[in-house]
Homo-oligomer: A and B are copies of this chain.
Amino acid sequence: MKLTWLYRSFKTDLDLIEQELERAVSSNSELVNNASHQLLKAGGKRIRPVFVLLSAKFGEYRIDRIKNIALALELIHTASLVHDDVIDEADMRRGLPTINYLWDDRVAMYTGDYILARSLEYMTNITDPLAHKVLSRAIVELVTGEIDQIKDKYRFDQTLRDYLRRIKRKTALLIAVSCELGAIAGQTPPDIYKRLYKFGYFIGMSYQITDDILDFVSTEEELGKPAGDDLRQGNITLPALYAMRYPLVKAEIEKVNRDTGKDVMSKIIQQIIETGAIEQSHQLSRRYLDKALAVLEELPDSRAKKPLKEIANYIGKRKY
């Protein structure tokens, strides 16, 4: 589902960004063109552009300046998704078949490369050197996060800290940077954009933890892929980490591999739920959300505060 109901007042600007995204991923290679548009469709809620626009409202809102940052960020995110799906050997994303499934890993690799390259083109339209530094650093962290994810696959002895650092790099940082750069594009003073960075970071952490919970507790229909798929792919997320504090449950979880069937998986999910790990994960997600809301309170009054709060609360409550 899209978050458009939250920000009617941004409809024109979000539509503009959507059209520009379509144009950005177009290619004279039919293959890449089809793959990119497929990917854009599956790309989801456009929360990064939304955060850019809302954060810019704390300063001087000029869509021509903000647009390039929103586009660059959404394209970076989209490029990372397609490479992610290769790493995870994912067949489905949000109910749609992945590029690597519809074509193959190599097409997915090159489609991702192409979209990343297009995002760099939008970056060149950004004149602020600070914005460049922030964006490049975010790309390095994003890729490092992916590499960590590969390293940590099926590594059942990882710590909570490993997990948190991974989701920071994988998700929270790009959302933090969306908020920060929106504010920078709006030419707010440093104390504003630094706070918005923090807000985005906390929201991003909460968001990813919720995502990781939903992978266990949603239905296949809601997820567009089987429940427990993260664990099957070797991605050890928060509910599994909490549940593994119980040696018997840990022993079961450690047996999981790519060939684990649905019946076995639903038994393991049941065991995880019974440890209270889902509830504990919700609590940590909620703690990050409360921190985000606290940071938001400290920010000066702006028309953007209410929708940001609504998004935060939506993230806390979303079911899929």
Contact = CB atoms under 8 A, between A and B. Distances in A.
Interface of A: 27, 29, 31-32, 83, 86-87, 105-107, 109-110, 113-114, 116-118, 120-121, 123-124, 127, 129, 132-133, 136-137, 139-140, 142-144, 146-148, 150-151
Given A109-B86, A140-B120, A27 B147 contact: yes
Given A105-B105, A143-B117, A127 B124 contact: no
The quantity of this chain's copies bound in the complex is 2
Contact of A124 (B27, B114, B117, B132): B132
A123 B136 contact: yes
A47 to B, nearest CB: 22
A147 B32 contact: yes
A197 to B, nearest CB: 17
Nearest to A33: B147
A127 B117 CA distance: 20
A82 to B, nearest CB: 10
A29 B148 CA distance: 7
A29 B147 contact: yes
30 contacts: A29-B144, A29-B148, A29-B150, A31-B147, A31-B151, A32-B147, A83-B110, A86-B105, A86-B109, A105-B106, A110-B143, A110-B146, A110-B147, A110-B150, A113-B143, A114-B144, A114-B147, A116-B116, A117-B136, A117-B140, A117-B142, A117-B143, A117-B144, A118-B140, A121-B137, A123-B136, A124-B129, A124-B133, A127-B129, A132-B132
